[in-house]
């Protein structure tokens, strides 16, 4: 497999994302991203992560990290973690194919 993965922990630092009852989206996205990153490494998959701690990243910093990790090769998969706070029941999955340009 010659795909490479960039795991993005959505939000972070000054941007908590959704907040409810003391729970912050940024904490859950970071936990999920760190788990994914470590698991991909264990499996020998080339992987990078946008943030591995609670830091603020500007949109440009996030894009630069994604682009600088493996370049703009079309075989780079970006997994961006977000947890929706809106109503409804069940899970929500959004699939997007995007080209990132800084």
pLDDT at 102: 47
In a domain? residue 65: yes
If you ran DSSP here, which 8-state letter would residue 72 be given? T
pLDDT at 89: 64
Domain CATH number, residue 51: 3.40.630.40
In a domain? residue 47: yes
Tens of pLDDT, residues 14-45 = 999 999 889 999 999 999 999 999 999 999 99
pLDDT at 85 over 80: no
d(C-alpha 76, C-alpha 63), whole Å: 13
In a domain? residue 94: no
Share of the chain above pLDDT 70, in %: 81
Rounded to whole angstroms, what are the CA distances from 65 to 50, 68, 75, 85?
6, 5, 16, 26
Range of the domain at 9: 4-81
Q: How many domains does the chain have?
A: 1
The model's pTM is 0.82
Instruction: Supply the Cα-derived Rg of the chain in whole angstroms.
Output: 14
């Amino acid at each position: 497999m010659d795909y490479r993965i960039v795991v993005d922990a959505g939000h972070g630092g000054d941007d908590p994302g959704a907040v409810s009852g003391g729970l912050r989206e940024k904490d859950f996205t970071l936990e999920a991203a760190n788990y994914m990153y470590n698991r991909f490494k264990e499996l020998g998959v080339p992987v990078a992560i946008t943030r591995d701690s609670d830091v603020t990243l500007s949109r440009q910093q996030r894009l630069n990290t994604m682009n600088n990790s493996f370049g703009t090769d079309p075989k780079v998969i970006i997994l961006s973690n977000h947890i929706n706070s809106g109503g409804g029941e069940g899970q929500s999955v959004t699939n997007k194919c995007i080209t990132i340009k800084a």
